Amino acid sequence: MKKNIDHTDPAKTMNPKRGNGGETHQDADKKSQTLTTQQGVVISDNQNSLTSGSRGPTLLEDFVLREKINHFDHERIPERIVHARGSAAHGYFELNESLADYTTAKILCETNKQTPLFTRFSTVAGSKGSKDTPRDVRGFAVKIYTEQGNWDIVGNNMPIFFIQDAMKFPDLIHAVKPEPDRGFPQAASAHDTFWDFVSLSPETMHNLIWLMSDRALPRSLRMMEGFGIHSYRLINKEGISTFVRFHWKPVLGVQSTTWDEAVKISGADPDYHRRDLFEAINNEDYPEWEFGVQLFTEEDAEQFPFDHLDATKLIPEELVPVKIVGKMVLNRYPDNFFAETEQVAFCPSHVVPGIDFSNDPLLQGRLFSYLDTQLSRLGSPNFAQIPINAPKCPFANMQRDGHMQMHVPKGRVAYEPQSLDPEMPRESAKQGFVSYQEQLDDNVKGRVRADSFADHYSQPRMFYRSQTPYEQAHIASAYAFELGKVDTPHVRMRTLTHIRNIDEDLAKRVASALGMTLPEATAPAAAIQDMATSAALQTIGLSPNSLKGRLVGILVAKGSKRSEIEKYQTAAKAQGASVKIVAPGREVQLDDGTRIQSAERIAGAPSVFLMPSSASLCLIKPNNWLKIVQH
Ligand code: HDD
């Protein structure tokens, strides 16, 4: 029922449960309200400024105009420094196998219970208004509102990262962002500063080859894997720690576009992924991921041919299988883009009791950065009070005041320890977050990169050699395209010296496409290993041969048979596809004299976004011939 607020009676606009500092007009359903100023004064005319005479000057006393413009002038907040372009949805997490042997975190112990969450997907390099389909890593950030507090898994759609130490993050981002003197290119890594930086930082080689692969061109946000990347710890009730890496596996499989499709889509529909997410949820075709963990002990880790504290290394699934223990379903699109998608604040430091950090130096730096950035983005240490960020479990502490304080704490006690108010919150050794008691005594202070982090080529080689020949060809073309945009010859050359360490054939293909001679390989800092290939690293191998989640266009012209259209609509939907009618105009007359509304005009809907590359397109012509194009 809509609430009809009576502005003549202030008592009726207050929330009796919370009194003066509680619910405001903003919380109430606004559809039946009269329009008011921020102070609650009803506005009589929202179209005309207050002027002296109908053609005279505007008067300074017009507080309605000034308040409206003032608020408008301050509507924007700084966009995220990275991951500015994003789309999000609400949903839930459900565990189907308990990890109680490994952790006390209730979210990973209590099965068959739905816990609300909010997930935001993003590109990294582009600004807020940039296109959805550049060649880029995708952010995959999940905030789970557990009953023990918020748990954020702030990951990407690739299982590794570009750099090993947070110290290098500002440089990486400065290098990939538009070049500071000219202000371009937007949302693109194909330029000199990026390749200059990466070719001088061999640790980037692994993430770089993922970036050159089709994983950087997801077909849909619903078709991406997600990874927590770093090793975290699970701590059980005996205080025993097990390392863990978190995985999200899309039920629709991993699917990508080709570069050619991605380029065409960016022109035809820069909001391609956001629209797809919105439409899928609207059609109740809810995106779903399996939640998996790779669990391993300190002793297991000592046997790995790499250091798991190095975020540029993945743990092959053949070495440590991904144990599927739960799922995530996204079933509600945000009501308001700004309030939710824009204001959500993820922090890798948001963990709950039973989950702890590892010493990965990249993760350690992130634990500072995310909290810090919220101050400039959201403007206040009270950002956790914004509804999308607030925990859904009880919370209470002695933090007070600050910009935009929304709570009205009662009483005289705002400190600890205290003996004046028995009602005030107290710490709890039993329920509280306890850090893993890791022995650290032998450490020596210093700025040192671990020797065990020195191998930069074995895993990119494993990745490349795990791909099908088509995917390898795409990778070679991507390097050639990107380096083809680099004007500085020595940067192109230096990159080739690294690619040669990854795979000789790949280096030859890239050099030949660039018309360059192959330089000597860079001397690697550690011996390069030929690791076993892993099918889990492919894209094509993880793409189902199915229409599920795909969009099929049915091309309809004047006189098309309604019965045929319905037949193919039903058939496509039965296969799990969604359907859009495409016609010369937005409506067209069918054979039975009825008219049909099309979803798209042919001229405005190129086949790249209506006809997924491995799916079918039905063309229904007036003469009833039907062609199904199979790719
Ligand atoms: Fe980050 C945002 C993922 C390293 C500093 N990062 C951000 C987002 C994602 C990631 C998904 C967007 C969250 C959202 O949707 O709001 N970042 C990663 C991953 C990393 C990583 C997977 C490596 C494994 N990031 C990283 C480092 C630093 C940052 C090393 C700094 C030392 N990241 C930030 C940030 C952002 C951010 C500047 C921008 C907006 C925000 O945090 O809230 O603080």
> What pLDDT does residue 443 have?
86
In order of 388, 582, 613, the CA distances from 631 in angstroms are 43, 20, 6
Q: What is the pLDDT of residues 285-339, one digit of tens each?
A: 999 999 999 999 999 999 999 999 999 999 999 999 999 999 999 999 999 999 9
- pLDDT over 70 (residue 372): yes
> What pLDDT does residue 30 have?
60
Task: Give CA angle at 609 (328, 594), nearest 5°.
Answer: 105
Quick one: average pLDDT of 35-59?
96
Q: What is the pLDDT of residues 172-192, one digit of tens each?
A: 999 999 999 999 999 999 999
Residue tagged active-site, from 156, 207, 389, 501: 156
**What one-character DSSP code corresponds to residue 514?**
H
> What pLDDT does residue 376 have?
93
- 191 near 485, Cβ under 8 Å? yes
3-state secondary structure of 257: coil
Q: Which atom of ligand 1 is least distant from the CA of 365?
A: 32
- Of all residues in the chain, the percent with pLDDT exceeding 70 is 91
Residue with the bigger pLDDT between 27 and 210: it is 210
In terms of average pLDDT, the best of 11-20, 479-488, 617-626 is: 479-488
What is the distance between the alpha carbons of residues 262 and 386, in angstroms, rounded to a whole number? 36
Q: What share of the chain is helix, strand, coil (3-state, %, to 5)?
A: 30, 20, 50
> What pLDDT does residue 21 have?
34
> What pLDDT does residue 629 have?
35
CATH class of 545-630: alpha beta
- 253 near 543, Cβ under 8 Å? yes
Dihedral of the alpha carbons of 196, 201, 83, 277, in degrees to the nearest 10: 100
SS3 readout for 158-182:
CCCCCCCCHHHHHHHHHHHCCCCCC
Counts for the chain of helices (H) and strands (E), in that order: 14, 17
- In this structure, the residue with its CA closest to atom 34 of ligand 1 is 370
- In this structure, the residue with its CA closest to atom 29 of ligand 1 is 366
pLDDT band at 610 (very low <50, low <70, confident <90, very high): low
- pLDDT over 70 (residue 347): yes
Measured in degrees and rounded to the nearest 5, phi and psi for residue 164 equal -100, -20
Task: Give CA angle at 267 (266, 268), nearest 5°.
Answer: 95
The CATH number given to 453-541 is: 1.20.1370.20
Measured in degrees and rounded to the nearest 5, phi and psi for residue 381 equal -70, -5
3-state secondary structure of 150: strand
Taking alpha carbons only, the member of 421, 389, 445, 423 closest to residue 143 is: 389
The CATH number given to 86-385 is: 2.40.180.10
Placement of tokens 């619910």 in the chain:
23
- pLDDT over 60 (residue 430): yes
Placement of tokens 């990159």 in the chain:
495
Q: Is 82 close to ligand 1, i.e. is its CB under 6 Å away?
A: yes
> What pLDDT does residue 440 have?
87
Q: Mean pLDDT in the chain?
A: 92
Least confident of 113-117, 449-453, 572-576: 572-576
- Of all residues in the chain, the percent with pLDDT exceeding 90 is 88
- pLDDT over 80 (residue 615): no
Query: Angle between the 504-514 and 489-502 helix axes, to the nearest 10 degrees?
Result: 160
- pLDDT over 50 (residue 3): no
- The β-bridge partners of 245 are 294
What is the distance between the terminal CA atoms of the chain, rounded to a whole angstrom?
51
Q: Is 159 close to ligand 1, i.e. is its CB under 6 Å away?
A: no
Q: What is the pLDDT of residues 51-80, one digit of tens each?
A: 999 999 999 999 999 999 999 999 999 999
Q: Would you call 7 a catalytic residue per the annotation?
A: no
Q: Would you call 74 a catalytic residue per the annotation?
A: no
Quick one: average pLDDT of 525-547?
94
Q: Is the full-model pTM beyond 0.85?
A: yes
What is the whole-number distance in angstroms between the Cα of residue 203 and the centre of ligand 1? Answer: 18
Q: Is 369 close to ligand 1, i.e. is its CB under 6 Å away?
A: yes
Q: Where are the domains of the chain?
A: 86-385, 453-541, 545-630
